[in-house]
Amino acid sequence: MNYPEKSWFSIAFDLKSSVIPNIWLRVLVIMLFALGVTIAHGNNLPMNQPILGSIIPGIVLGLLLVFRTNTAYDRYWEGRKLIGLISQISRSLAKNMMIFIPENNSEDYRKKIYHIQLLIALFISIKYHLRQETVNEEIKKFISEIQYLELINVKNMPLQIIKWLTIYFDELLKKKTINELTLITWNKQIEEIFIYFGGCERIASTPIPQAYSIHLKHLLVIYCFAIPFQCVAELSWWTIPVTGIISFALLGVEAIGLEIENPFGYDYNDLPLDKIATKMIEDIQEITDSGSFNNSELWQGWVSLQQMS
| Selection from 271, 217, 267, 256 nearest residue 69 by Cα | 256
The pLDDT of residue 131: 93
d(CA 96, CA 287): 10
- Rounded distance between C-alpha atoms, residue 187 and residue 161, angstroms: 13
23 and 222 in contact (C-beta within 8 Å)? no
Do residues 79 and 263 make contact, with C-beta atoms less than 8 angstroms apart?
yes
pLDDT tens readout for residues 58-104? 778 888 888 889 999 999 999 999 999 999 999 999 999 998 898 88
- Axis crossing angle, helix 157-174 with helix 180-205, rounded to the nearest 10: 180
Domain residue spans in the chain? 30-36+51-300
* pTM: predicted TM-score of the whole model, two decimal places: 0.83
Task: Answer yes or no: is pLDDT of 204 > 90.
Answer: yes
302 CB-contact burial (10 Å; exposed 0-12 / middle 13-18 / buried 19+):
middle
Report d(CA 206, CA 204) in Å as an integer: 6
Q: Any idea what DSSP says for residue 238?
A: G
Q: Do 237 and 13 form a contact (C-beta atoms < 8 A)?
A: no
Find the mean pLDDT for residues 193-211.
92
Strand, coil or helix: what is 46?
coil
d(CA 279, CA 224): 45
Residue type, 105: N
Neighbour-count burial of 161, counting CB atoms closer than 10 A to its CB (0-12 exposed, 13-18 middle, 19+ buried):
buried
**pLDDT value, residue 298:** 46
Would you call 278 helix, strand, or coil by DSSP? helix
Q: How confident is the model at residue 297 (pLDDT cuts 50, 70, 90)?
A: very low
* Closest C-alpha to 103, from 296, 301, 287, 294: 294
Instruction: Residue 37: name the closest of 246, 251, 236, 241 by CA.
Output: 236
Interatomic CA distance for residues 277 and 121, integer angstroms = 10
